[in-house]
Amino acid sequence: VGSLLVALVSPRMAGLQVNFAVLLEPLGFIKVLEWIFSIFAFATCGGFQGETTLLVSCKGVFNKTVTAAFAYPFRLNTVVFSAPDPKRCGGTWTDVYLVGNFSSSAQFFVMLAVLVFLYCIAALVVYIGFKHVYQQNSKFSLIDLAITVITAFLWLASTFAWAQALADIKMSTGASIIPGIEPCKAPATTCHFASVTSMKPLNVSVVFGLLNMVLWGGNIWFVYKDTNLHYQSNRISQSP
């Protein structure tokens, strides 16, 4: 069995030439940065959990804390506030939901970051172990260029979509929600906004989205230099 495995693996590993010096070159170094920044992008967005807190006073209740816990993927319209007391303010308190469904923008952003994370791992394996194959076969560099261009555009679209969604999330979980809560308009009932979880991690996710967009956009040039398109343009410019 051992000899059979060796026979199967050896031909496939014959082209392997490990060269970590590639990581010091712009193409490899930028790919490492893209890999790291993609981790921060999906971790800061996908791992977020928060809650909005109100202080409610009504029949038999004074400044009772009610909370609505929300998290990724930010389907806020499914998040309900807890009741002030078991009697629900004498029957005047009905279920109160947050407003908005921002899952499409959030999931688009996180999904892209995860796919980029996986692609960067695959690209680094090729750069480190099969760079000679990558350079000899023009198709690999052209595919890499196409993916780089598309990914840069997707980072642009997903980051701006997520930034807009984040602004709406802040509105839907902040103090501006008080006038829209119907039970708070009942007689002898008052509601005051208490707090909302800091969204600094989500702000950071937008920053990393922008950084990824810049990295992938700038990397287009370095990937392009490894393609036949660049070599052909040089030959044309140098020919009489």
Which pLDDT tens digit goes with each residue over 51-82?
Answer: 999 999 988 889 899 999 999 999 999 999 99
The model's pLDDT over 109-122, given as tens digits with 9 standing for 90+, comes to 999 999 999 999 99
Q: Are the beta carbons of 58 and 189 closer than 8 angstroms? A: yes
pLDDT at 236: 46
pLDDT at 228: 66
The mean pLDDT value of the chain amounts to 86
* Domain-embedded: residue 13: no
pLDDT at residue 237 greater than cutoff 70? no
* Number of domains the chain contains: 1
* Domain-embedded: residue 11: no
* Domain-embedded: residue 12: no
pLDDT at 1: 40
Q: What is the three-class DSSP state of 54?
A: strand
* Domain-embedded: residue 174: yes
Please give the model's pTM, rounded to 2 decimal places.
0.84
Q: How far apart are CA 207 and CA 103, in angstroms?
A: 19
User: Percent of the chain having pLDDT more than 90?
Assistant: 64
Collect all residues with Cβ–Cβ distance below 8 Å to 184 and sequence separation of at least 6: 56, 178, 190, 191
Which of the 8 DSSP states describes residue 81?
P
pLDDT at 28: 87
* Domain-embedded: residue 74: yes
* Domain-embedded: residue 86: yes
Q: Are the beta carbons of 77 and 97 closer than 8 angstroms? A: yes
List the Cα angle 75/63/177 in 5-degree steps: 35
* Domain-embedded: residue 6: no
| Residue range(s) defining the domain that contains residue 190 | 20-238
What would the mean pLDDT of 173-195 be, rounded to a whole number? 91
